[in-house]
Amino acid sequence: MRQAGTYSGILSGGISGRTGPHSLPLARIKKIMKKSGEDVKMISGEAPIVFSKACELFIKELTQRSWMVTMQGKRRTLNKEDVTSAVVATDIFDFLVNLVSEDSGNTVDATPLEMDTFTSSS
Amino acid sequence: MEGESHGNVPHGPNKRSPESPCVKSSGSSNNNHPDNNNKEQDRFLPIANVGRIMKKVIPSNGKISKDAKETVQECVSEFISFVTGEASDKCQREKRKTINGDDIIWAITTLGFEEYVAPLKLYLSKYRDIEGEKLNIPKQQRSEQKQQQQQQQPQQQQSEHEHNLPYNSSVYSSTNLLSHHPSFVPSDQPFSLPFSSNSIQKQLQQQDQIDSMGHW
């Protein structure tokens, strides 16, 4: 089973930057952390490791929510608009709203009331 | 295994610059700026890794468009920046220079991702145990070898398996957390069937390696 290999991966790989059991490259995570602000100077070895797990959980949650939108549309391909919808619909993803709306080039209406006003033309 | 090593992604992160979103459609403009390409790649986690994780939570017949992967890629980087910013602020307030794993976990909680905390703490504590093992090898190995022997002896008897199960299941599930989503418990784990001694014996034999390396 791969659990034994996973453990030995941690021991030998440690925080050397191997993707091994962490599934996301630690060096890259560290780079992104450093870019987040001028004040970020010293990062402990375990911080990227925690992030590698946290990012995995984040990706999974975002994907699951996006897939629900895909299914509602009776489609089998998860596209960017599904991700955008999931972001808009989830409170804790509020920090992403500007990011996903910039990407699509559209301003995303987080308040459905406004949309109803615009569409009720009859 | 990283995304940039694959040359078959013409519209990958190389071509993305948020300042000019229309650049995505024109493939040639960024080729003249290799520095931009490198910087762009550094801003995101590899799309192959991101895509792989995404696939784990959708049905096997589901598909993911490339722009969806790119969007999630950007969101993850934003997530990292967001959390790091909070953690960094905390360290500044407390006049500490180094952001550690606990700061990250605190920031994640503060920003509303409390559900992540339990598996993260587990992950971090196991990582710390293993790193501690590296420094204190002799004593801990001896004590764990004794525990191993105590576990292996009743291996033949089915009645003992029930006593071993809580220990096995906790170690087993914790190792699963390294590669699996915590809420995503595989249904084929042998320890859920206490009377199947063969599968449990397999676990115990493999856990020899796990135990000697460090359990918690």
DSSP letters spanning chain B = --GGG-S--TTSGGG--TTSGGGGG-SSGGGG-HHHHHHHHHHS--HHHHHHHHHHTS-TT-EE-HHHHHHHHHHHHHHHHHHHHHHHHHHHHTT-SEE-HHHHHHHHHHTT-GGGHHHHHHHHHHHHHHHHHHHSHHHHHHHHHHHHHHHHGGGG-HHHHHHHHHHHHHHHHHHHHHHS-TT---TT-GGGSTT-HHHHHHHHHHHHHHHHH---
Residues of A in contact with B182 (CB under 8 A): 57
pLDDT at B60: 94
Residues of B in contact with A91 (CB under 8 A): 112
CA distance B158 to chain A (A): 22
3-state secondary structure of A60: helix
Task: Count CB atoms within 10 A of the CB of residue A62.
Answer: 24
pLDDT at B34: 55
Which of A36, A76, A77 is facing B81, going by the closest CB pair? A36
For residue A56, give the chain B residue with the closest CA: B53
Instruction: Give the percent of chain B with pLDDT over 90.
Output: 37
- Cα B11 to Cα A111: distance, rounded to the nearest angstrom: 32
pLDDT at B189: 45
Q: With b meaning 16 or more CB within 10 Å and e meaning fewer, what string describes B83-120?
A: bbbbbbebbeeeeeeebbbbbbbbbbeebebeebeebb
Burial (CB count <10 Å: 0-12, 13-18, 19+), residue A83: buried
Structure tokens, A51: 């992030």
The answer to whether B33 and B70 are in contact (CB under 8 A) is no
The answer to whether B83 and A64 are in contact (CB under 8 A) is no
pLDDT at B4: 45
Residues 51-90, chain B, touching A (beta carbon < 8 A): 52-54, 56-58, 61-65, 67-68, 70-72, 74-85, 87-89
Mean pLDDT rounded to a whole number for chain A: 79
Average pLDDT over residues B26-40: 54
Q: Does B47 touch chain A if contact means CB atoms closer than 8 Å?
A: no
pLDDT exceeds 50 at position B9: no
pLDDT exceeds 50 at position A65: yes
pLDDT at B145: 54
Query: Where residue A115 falls among pLDDT bands split at 50, 70, 90?
Result: very low
Is the pLDDT higher at B12 or at B127? B127
The one-letter amino acid code at B175 reads T
Task: Give pTM, 2 decimals.
Answer: 0.59
Contact at CB, A55 and B72, closer than 8 angstroms:
no
Residues 6+ apart with CB under 8 A from B136: none
DSSP-derived secondary structure letter, A105 = T
pLDDT exceeds 80 at position B190: no
Chain A contact probe: residue of B2, B4, B77 with most A CBs at under 10 A: B77
pLDDT at B128: 82
DSSP-derived secondary structure letter, A10 = H
Mean pLDDT rounded to a whole number for chain B: 68
Which of A21, A46, A51 is facing B179, going by the closest CB pair? A21
pLDDT exceeds 80 at position B19: no
pLDDT exceeds 90 at position A77: yes
pLDDT tens track for B65-109: 999 999 999 999 999 999 999 999 999 999 999 999 999 999 999
The answer to whether A78 and A71 are in contact (CB under 8 A) is no
